[in-house]
Amino acid sequence: MARTSVPAADALLDERLDVLDHGFVRLVDYLGGDARIVQAARVSYGEGTKSLREDRALIDYLLRHAHTSPFEQVVLTFHLKMPIFVARQWLRHRTARLNELSGRYSVMRDEFYLPAPDEVRYQSTTNRQGRSEAAVPDELRGRVVDTLAEGQRRSYAEYEGLLADGVARELARVNLPLALYTEMYWQIDLHNLFHFLRLRMDWHAQAEIRAYGDAIARCARAVAPLAYEAFEEHVLHGRRLSASELELVRGALDEAKLRAELAASGLRASRRRELLEKLGLAVDDPGS
């Protein structure tokens, strides 16, 4: 079987997508695309089965019903450059394969992330790991940026001094700050990439890693546009309800109005039926 080729992805290969002040995302290779997802899924039905003919509908069905293995057939490989504090969050996603730049072997470059003044925020009082949206005085913003920049200059000068004295690279590096840039090659299948994007494109995620999420999403969309469309519909812009939340919704909705809106919605019959089933409402006509 010939290797799957996706023109939009081929056009993006090795293109540098700039992120933050010195970072980037590069798609260096990919395996498969929407066609591979469809091929992998239809193997399960046996040759000649035509019950799910349309690729978009099949991929949408697979994703919304969490049939994940066909999406694992698609693999993307990236070359990434990011601040170390972003990399430490990135490595929480343990379902990928990676090789990172090593300061034991290489002299680290004098490249640090410095936030723009409008990225300086107070600590949020409601989100322990995030920033507040409250206004910060310009004087404080400037002082924060200057303080960070001075600390970066000082730490790198000390690092260079230790190297000049012949100190081992693995020791000279230990005081370098988290703002220092690192690089890695990162390979991940599409199912786990969608999990990464669900978390890292969410508004709760740190702004800096969200910027990388947007660039990674552009690559995923190029490789598998139908799968990405389904991901946006059911995961990225969808929401899950707990049992108690669902009970509250059931008690508050106008069932007659819902059924009227549903009939006029343009959703496929299977999607209309699934919505009624999710809400625990009767499905009078299984085909409607």
- Average the pLDDT over each of 35-49, 52-66, 148-162, 216-230 and give the range with the smallest value: 35-49
Domain covering 7-113+179-236, topology = Gyrase A; domain 2 (3.30.1360)
Residue 44 is predicted with a pLDDT of 63
Q: What is the pLDDT of residue 48?
A: 40
Per-residue model confidence (pLDDT) at position 2: 64
Please give the Cα distance from 71 to 180 (Å, whole number): 34
- pLDDT in the model for residue 218: 98
CB 159 within 8 A of CB 176: yes
- DSSP code, position 184: E
Catalytic residue among 26, 42, 200, 221: 200
For residue 66, pLDDT beyond 80: yes
Residue 175 pLDDT > 60: yes
Q: List pLDDT tens digits, range 106-161.
A: 999 999 999 999 999 989 888 778 888 888 999 999 999 999 999 999 999 999 99
Q: What is the pLDDT of residue 224?
A: 97
Q: Is the pLDDT of residue 45 over 90?
A: no
Which ranges of the chain does DSSP label H, i.e. alpha helix? 7-12, 34-43, 55-64, 84-90, 138-164, 169-172, 190-200, 207-223, 225-231, 243-252, 255-263, 269-278
List, as own/partner pairs, every contact residues 256-265 make where C-beta atoms lie below 8 angstroms and the sequence separation is at least 24, other chains included.
none
pLDDT (0 to 100) of residue 46: 53
Average pLDDT value for residue range 13-18: 98
Q: Is 268 a catalytic residue?
A: no
Given a contact cutoff of 8 angstroms between Cβ atoms, the answer to whether 37 and 70 are in contact is yes
pLDDT of residue 201: 95
pLDDT of 52 above 50: no
pLDDT value at 67 more than 70: yes
